[in-house]
Structure 1
Amino acid sequence: MAADQQNHILAFFAAMENQGGHIVRAQTPRSLIWTCRTRFPRLLLIGQSSVPLCVDALKAAIHEAKRGRDIQRYRDAWECIRIAAPSEPEAQWDEPWVANTDRQNKMDTHRLETELKGYKNNLVKESIRIGHRDLGEHLESIGDLGGAIETYTKMRPDASTQYHILDVGKHVIGILLQRRDWPSVLANVSKVVAGNADEDQKALQPYQKMVSGLAHLGSDKYYEAARCFLEVGDPLICQQHNDIASPNDVATYGGLTALASMDRAELQTRVLESSSFRNYLELEPHIRKAISMFVNGRYSACLSILESYRADYMLDIYLCQHVPLLFSQIRNKCIVQYFVPFSCVTLESMNAAFAKPGESLEAELVRMIKSGVLKARINTIDKLLVAVSTDSRIAMQTKGLETARKYEKETLERIRRMSLAAADLEVKGAAKKGLPSLGDSWMDESKRQAGAGDTAMT
């Protein structure tokens, strides 16, 4: 039985890999215990990606789906487990639960819509707002995200206090996060914060920075994401928004994006010496250690620490798509910084520092040189990586010529403008504050010229 199940799991992951999924075959320290609303998508991702945790995660995803009312979630988890572990009890389709849940969902939708219609007939704004909120939460719970966000949006005209407006914004942002609509997330979080007083904005800072950081991360803007995560603030307040990201997540996301996008000086001042972010780094000490290694020039140790946690990062719902690019950028930075003090380095020493045992770094160095990341050339005869030195005199002369060309262009534009003004060829706008318009000036000029012509004929 165990051999058959193993064969099913291997076939399942072969199919997932053919579809472009990220497969994690190594053991990871990640647990399957969450209490936030992202529990199901996290479990489903682990079930679809982790070979060792596949069956346990999919079984937990089935139970989590049946605790809720979203039939599509149950269907997604069942489609996976019936292929990966068909002998498990959870792999049997639970038709009675599906039928009962579907019937109950329709009954509750009809009831809430009827109540909302009654509230609208009574014209009580607070009741209408609560009716829209209850209907939106119900639609969200059954998986109708499009209907939920439309219903939440209808709460805005009936929101009478700043708290109500904030409640609407948070509901809408929650849906947009689930739909991964990152531009809309940024637009809405700006609206939520803009209308609040300074004290309220300070209290909302952890929420704003976390949501903005996730949106920038999803948009591949790692520097902006790092700045947002580094400014989240007090971890105790961050804990209140655990349904979006936990303090451990903030430490991981902020540390990795900062390491990929910031230079050594910024890492030292904004990350390691930050009084607020230091509390987050204590939750993930390996992130703090990796950043310290990079700042201190121990690049191979930094990369080794991160590689040991790569499998864990690949099972995070927000981070998994960005791990290859983030790790590539961090690795490129380490190689470049390692090479900065030297005019030439042997390929043997580069391989010893960065390559895997028995492999060569030459192909990777060629790619970095072609992309412009590494300013060097490879001496294949002597097996050296030689720095390409820039001639400072040529650089200074080039900059001087560029400045002269810009000055010449600006001077010509100014002379042309002065000539147009002197020839009275300026195109003026419409009249303001009693001044004649362009059409009136033209008519007056025509009349003046016509009068001058009559006088000449006389």
Structure 2
Amino acid sequence: MAWKGNSNTGAYDSDLPAPTFDLETWAGNYEGALLPLRLAHVSTHCPSLARQSLSIAAAAAKKGKDVQLYSRLHDIASRLGFGDLAAIDLDWATKQEEANKRELARLEGELRGYKNNLIRESIRMGQEDLAVHLLLTGGPPPDPANPQSINSAGYNAAYQAFGKMRDYCTTPTHVASMTLRLIYTSLLQAVSAQQTGASPVLFLNATLANANRIRTVGVKEEEMAKLTPIMHAMTGIANLGQGAYKDAAISFLATPHEYATNGPVHGTDFTRAVASGNDIAIYGGLCALATMSRDELVDHVLGGTFRTFLELEPHMRKAISLYTTAKYQACLDTLRHYYSDWSLDVFLGANTGITACSHVDKLLARIREKSITAYFSSFSEVSLASLASTFPPTSSSPYAMENEILSMIQSGMLDARIDVVNGVLIAPQKETRSATHAQAKAAAEEVERTLLLRLHKVNVSLAGLEVPKPKGTYGEGVRVGNGGY
């Protein structure tokens, strides 16, 4: 079940089964700079689709202006041994690079003119045009002689250019538009960094920070209704990328269903540029299934507003329903069937960085651990052979089930002990008799204490030591204070 690909070397560790979707149809759901990056992820993780995905990615890149991205795709083709795809169209690349430089010089000249004229709105628009150009062209390449140049190269240049718009925004709508651009660019930075072997944490933190700023931009209610779904969805993706699956689940579940139908907002359609409604259903369903209790799944996932997203992915709804009805083996079989699809997703299939596994590997492992724990909670003891038949181990080792259970016990996930000799997993014995005696003793002590307090009160009254109530209190018809009775 756990297959790994190395996106840096282009070498495959083992074969990932072909996904259930058609690649061309799947690619048609996305657009923008993230589409070639998604296809590059597919090419380095699925040998059977590598050639097709690189062909589609190269064609998509040539429709844009990013020569660096186009060259990177051909480098991947070369590492994977596709000589015909590794040949770069030098004529197109040269012409496009020259056109990009001319356009960059023109936009920088216009921006300098706007700044000289001190027209704030013109400066903002000029800065936005420059930032959009840097985003579409992938920004300037880093200088090999200057390691620090990487901070202002690539998508970093576009992010910094969008950030400079802040001083020239005059309305909340301008701030909202700029913030959405920053969110989209930071996600591109994160995906690009992940695929080049760098850490995406800094860029994911920037995504979270900008998504939180959406709450306070101060736009009108009808405009905020369009921004809120994007804010929750992008927050969920950023949390997912950082491995904060519980926080990601909460964000995805809070995403209004209008996310899938809003269309472009301030010039960017996030359902096509970043994640579709189907993607949100899968991300939210997996994160919720891995981190939430059965009652939470029933109330907030199957019975909440998120069900609208699950209608887009019936197999995810089915898996959650099977788990809530204690059909754990069927639930895991359903999830395992779509493992290849999810591993090829650029966010779910990204490497976690700590171990050589992806986010979907960690999520499915957590769901499996939860299922074993919930299954065992109904028994006082279960044989390891029975557990292995219900939850087939992912390894062929004869000690795979035993090692997995031992790991769960050591991590505190499972409260039990293993009888290695008889091959039995035993639940801790509960001393019901002792617990009942302790509860009865505590109740008796509380009754005795109450009786002693009442006796003390009686003795105080009989000895005349009770303090009498002062006269002139409320209810006796005596004036109290100024004008009150």
TM-score normalised by the chain length of structure 1: 0.79
Larger relative helix fraction: 1
User: CA deviation digits over 1:116-170, x for unaligned, max 9?
Assistant: 1111112111111110000000011111212211211111121111111111111
- Pick one of 285, 288, 310 that aligns with 2:317: 288
Residues 400-449 of structure 1: CA deviation (Å, up to 9, x unaligned): xxxxxxxxxxxxxxxxxxxxxxxxxxxxxxxxxxxxxxxxxxxxxxxxxx
The equivalent residue for 1:456 is none
Counterpart among 266, 271, 281 of residue 251 in structure 1: 281
Superposition pairs for residues 266-415 of structure 1, below 5 Å? 266-274=296-304, 276-321=305-350, 322-356=359-393, 360-389=400-429
Rate the CA distance shift 1:146–1:354 in 2: closer, same or farther, 3 A.
same
Q: Per-residue CA shift, 1:284-312, capped at 9, x if unaligned?
A: 01100000010000001000000011111
Letter in 2 for 1:261: T
What corresponds to 2:291 in structure 1? 261
Letter in 2 for 1:231: A
Residues in 2 aligned to 1:21 and 1:187: alpha-carbon distance in whole angstroms: 36
SS in 2 for 1:155: helix
- What is the aligned-residue RMSD (CA, Å)? 2.4
Provide the secondary structure at the position in 2 that maps to 1:385: strand
**2:106 corresponds to 1:106:** no
1:96 aligns with 91
Equivalent residue number for residue 200 of structure 2: none
> Is the 8 Å Cα contact of residues 281 and 288 (structure 1) preserved in structure 2?
yes
The amino acid across from 1:212 in the alignment is: T
AA paired with 2:239? H
Provide the C-alpha distance between the structure 1 equivalents of 2:54 and 2:341, rounded to a whole number of angstroms: 17
Q: Residue deviations 1:360-410, cap 9 Å, x none?
A: 51121111112111111111222211012455868x99xxxxxxxxxxxxx
Shift of 1:196: 2.0
Shift of residue 193, structure 1, vs aligned partner = 2.1
Q: What residue is the counterpart of 2:17 in the other structure?
A: 26
Unaligned runs of 5+ in 2: 140-154, 191-202, 265-269, 351-358, 439-485
1:239 touches 1:246 (CA, 8 Å); kept in 2?
A: no
* Equivalent residue number for residue 135 of structure 1: 130
For 2:171, which of 161, 179, 182 is the aligned residue? Answer: 161
Q: CA deviation at 1:71?
A: 1.5
Do structure 1's residue 206 and structure 2's residue 229 form an aligned pair?
A: yes
> Helix, strand or coil for the counterpart of 1:93?
coil
Aligned-partner SS, 1:106: helix
Give 1:250 shift.
0.6
Determine the C-alpha separation between the residues in 2 that align with 1:17 and 1:172.
Answer: 27
Per the normalisation by structure 2, the TM-score is 0.74
The answer on whether the counterparts of 2:382 and 2:424 sit within 8 Å (CA) in structure 1 is: yes
The one of 205, 213, 221 aligned to 1:183 = 205
Checking the alignment, whether the CA contact within 8 Å between 1:176 and 1:182 is kept in structure 2 is: yes
Cα deviation, residue 22, structure 1: 7.4
Rounded to whole Å, the distance in 2 between the matches of 1:286 and 1:55 is: 29
Q: Distance in 2 between matches of 1:161 and 1:177?
A: 25
Superposed displacement of residue 82, structure 1: 2.5
**Distance in 2 (alpha carbons) for counterparts of 1:18 and 1:80:** 8
Moved over 6 A (4+): 17-22
